[in-house]
C-alpha cells in the first residue's frame, strides 16, 4: 500500500515490513474517515442526517477489521500451522458474529 521501505530512527536505518505498513495505512485511512464523518456530523447539525452518516461507518469498521486481519495473516502464513489458522479463523468469525448480530 505505502512505499515505505526504510526510515531513519536514532541514526540507524530501520526497515518497515510491507504487511505492517499496509495494515497501519488502512488504520490511518479508517481513522481519517472517522474524523471526517465526525466533522460532517457537526456541519449538518441534524440528528437524523448525522445518524444516516454514522450508519455508513457501521460497514467500514468490520471491513477494515477483516482486511487488516487478512493482510496480517498473509504476512505470517508461512509461520502458522493449520491448527493455529483454524483458531484464528474461528476467533475472527466470533468477532464478526458479535459485531454484526442484531
User: What does pLDDT average to in each consecutive run of 10 residues of the chain (102 residues)?
Assistant: 56 86 96 95 95 87 89 88 88 85 77
Per-residue model confidence (pLDDT) at position 101: 80
**C-alpha cell belonging to residue 84:** 493455529
DSSP label at 16?
P
Per-residue model confidence (pLDDT) at position 4: 54
- End-to-end C-alpha distance for the chain, whole angstroms: 34
Give the global pTM: 0.69
Return the closest-CA partner of residue 88 out of 96, 25, 102: 96
Per-residue model confidence (pLDDT) at position 55: 87
| Cβ neighbours around 23 below 10 Å, total | 20
Alpha helix stretches (DSSP H) within the chain: 18-44, 47-76, 82-100
Per-residue model confidence (pLDDT) at position 2: 45
Per-residue model confidence (pLDDT) at position 84: 87
Per-residue model confidence (pLDDT) at position 11: 73
Beta bridge partners of 12: 9
Alpha carbon distances (Å) from 70 to 64, 79, 87 = 10, 15, 14
Per-residue model confidence (pLDDT) at position 61: 86
Amino acid at each position: 500500500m505505502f512505499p515505505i521501505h526504510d526510515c531513519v530512527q536514532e541514526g540507524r536505518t530501520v526497515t518497515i515490513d510491507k504487511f505492517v505498513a499496509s495494515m497501519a495505512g488502512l488504520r490511518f485511512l479508517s481513522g481519517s474517515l472517522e474524523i471526517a464523518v465526525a466533522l460532517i456530523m457537526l456541519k449538518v447539525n441534524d440528528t437524523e442526517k448525522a445518524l444516516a452518516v454514522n450508519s455508513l461507518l457501521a460497514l467500514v469498521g468490520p471491513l477494515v477489521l477483516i482486511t487488516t486481519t487478512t493482510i496480517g495473516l498473509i504476512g505470517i502464513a508461512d509461520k502458522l500451522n493449520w491448527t493455529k489458522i483454524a483458531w484464528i479463523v474461528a476467533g475472527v468469525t466470533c468477532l464478526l458474529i458479535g459485531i454484526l448480530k442484531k
